Amino acid sequence: MSRRTTLLATGAVLAGLAVLAALNVEGLRRVAIEQLTPDYDVEAASDFQPTYAGKDADRQRVPITLTQMAPGVPQPTDIQFVPGDDSLMIVLGKQGTAKWFDLSDGSSGVLLEVEVLTASEEGLLGLAFHPDYAQNGAFYINYVTNRRSDGRDISRVHEVRVPPGADLRAAKPELKRVLMEVAQPYQNHDAGQLAFGPDGQLYIGWGDGGYRYDPHNHGQDTRTWLGAMLRVQATPDGPEPYVVPADNPFVGDERYQPEIWAYGLRNPWRYAFAPDGRLVVADVGQDLYEEVSVVGAGDNMGWKIREATHCFEPKEDCPTQGLVDPIYEYGRDEGQSITGGYVYTGAAVPALQGLYVFGDFVGGRLWAIPLPAQVSNSTPLVEARTLGRWPILPSTFGQDARGEVYVADFASGAIYRIDPG
């Protein structure tokens, strides 16, 4: 799956689009995305070993191996572990299937299936268990479905329930209430992850709605949820599916949607909370740079004024006051589409302890970086340590209760655990 659409068209195609643009700009863009989204392949490898080239050759190395733990599902998009059951892993597939895998005995089965749209970056994209899952049996999924009469698709966050204490190996989850729906103008930049923070609130990251160059300026439009990180209190047993926390940064300001926690995002493809509670977001870039940022309440992450730390619109002398710098960035010489991971808190690979592990979907590279104690516009970018380039398309990461980190290969569907090298 591509989380960036590289619309590389021939001159003839572009000329044809220009002629018809006045008739139906939005429809033509949707056709372009659907037809021109590239399919990525893994480079052939004689053995399943890391390589170190380019800038990685000069970086500090953390030797690892990737141990296959499950065959996964076709085109995996999310890995989650069931609270209270360390061996039970849930893997989402882009085509709409969620499967469970018991890592203790190798058994597996289908947890649920939903009807989804799958053009470009659409599909079943995220799952999160409620903090009180053991008591209420509630979890949430994020998927794209229901093309509307106006041609736009819908991203939907749906509340799912099982009886409290149910074994998900045999349970029959029921889709209950829709927590949130967002109309998507295009089929890319849907983001789609869900994550509960240490504060018990549900964080929902939305991309800018797609196409290229954020044509509707959603990243800086605080009247829309698109291009923003939202924070809500999910209330599975309340009269409404969620309420807006009173301490959200823009509550009471009519210029902002009250659910917004931060904005200025392009396509947050995976985010996680560090042990100290800070939210770490990997945001997919446009043309030149990918970035990792620590995102706080009320932050403006800069898109599309900037791409990472570089002016985007305008190309020079862009206003930077009030924009939050990323803590790390990399360019096209190293990859094309970032996949966010987790801060490693496990014991198997001591050299990764406390480092944020992430990768590049297209390049197959894995890295780890330290998180600065404090982040400001004067904080220098951190240095990365390399875990090598692997013959996989790392589409998502997962973390078990012991803090060990897993990575999914979009090409084969396999799920790997990061083990010592």
Q: List helix spans (H) across 291-365.
A: none
Q: Which residues pair with 204 in a beta bridge?
A: 194, 230
Which residues lie closer than 8 Å to 338 by C-beta, 6 or more apart?
269, 282, 283, 284, 285, 290, 291, 292, 330, 358, 359, 360, 361
| Alpha carbons 166 and 172: distance in angstroms, whole number | 9
Give the pLDDT confidence score for residue 200 in this predicted structure. 98
What are 222's two structure tokens?
């605080």
Q: Is-contact 92 125, C-beta < 8 A?
A: yes
| Alpha carbons 252 and 249: distance in angstroms, whole number | 9
Give the pLDDT confidence score for residue 37 in this predicted structure. 73
| Alpha carbons 267 and 340: distance in angstroms, whole number | 11
Q: Is-contact 207 189, C-beta < 8 A?
A: yes
What fold characterizes domain 11-420?
Neuraminidase (2.120.10)
Neighbours of 379 (CB within 10 A): 15
Each residue of 270-305: pLDDT tens digit? 999 999 999 999 999 999 999 999 999 999 999 999
Q: Is-contact 176 163, C-beta < 8 A?
A: no
b/e for 69-100, b at 16 or more Cβ within 10 A? bbebbebbbbbbbbeeeeebbbbbbbebbbbb
Give the pLDDT confidence score for residue 378 in this predicted structure. 78
Each residue of 69-103: pLDDT tens digit? 999 899 999 999 999 998 999 999 999 999 999 99
Q: Residue 371: what residue type?
A: L
Q: Is the pLDDT of residue 19 over 60?
A: no
Q: Is-contact 407 72, C-beta < 8 A?
A: no
What are 234's two structure tokens?
């999910």
Mean pLDDT on 349-354: 98
What are 329's two structure tokens?
């960035």
Q: Is-contact 208 227, C-beta < 8 A?
A: yes
Q: To 10 degrees, what angle do helices 25-36 and 11-20 make?
A: 160
Say which residue the tokens 């429809």 belong to. 27
Reference 269, options 375, 166, 123; nearest CA is 123
Q: Is-contact 295 281, C-beta < 8 A?
A: yes
| Alpha carbons 343 and 272: distance in angstroms, whole number | 8
Estimate to the nearest angstrom the gap between the alpha carbon of 314 and the chain centroid: 27
Say which residue the tokens 């160059």 belong to. 213
- pLDDT tier, 383 (very low <50, low <70, confident <90, very high otherwise): very high
Give the pLDDT confidence score for residue 407 in this predicted structure. 98
Which residues lie closer than 8 Å to 406 by C-beta, 6 or more apart?
69, 79, 89, 397, 398, 399, 400, 415, 416, 417, 418
Q: Which residues pair with 112 in a beta bridge?
A: 98
| Alpha carbons 97 and 123: distance in angstroms, whole number | 10
- pLDDT tier, 28 (very low <50, low <70, confident <90, very high otherwise): confident
Give the pLDDT confidence score for residue 151 in this predicted structure. 75
Each residue of 392-409: pLDDT tens digit? 999 999 999 999 999 999
74 upstream amide cis, omega within 30 of 0? no
Domain ranges of the chain: 11-420
Q: Is-contact 329 368, C-beta < 8 A?
A: no
Give the pLDDT confidence score for residue 45 in this predicted structure. 65
Q: Give me the numbers of helices (H) and strands (E) for the chain, helices first please.
A: 3, 27
| Alpha carbons 137 and 141: distance in angstroms, whole number | 13
Supply φ then ψ for residue 31, to 5 degrees: -65, -40
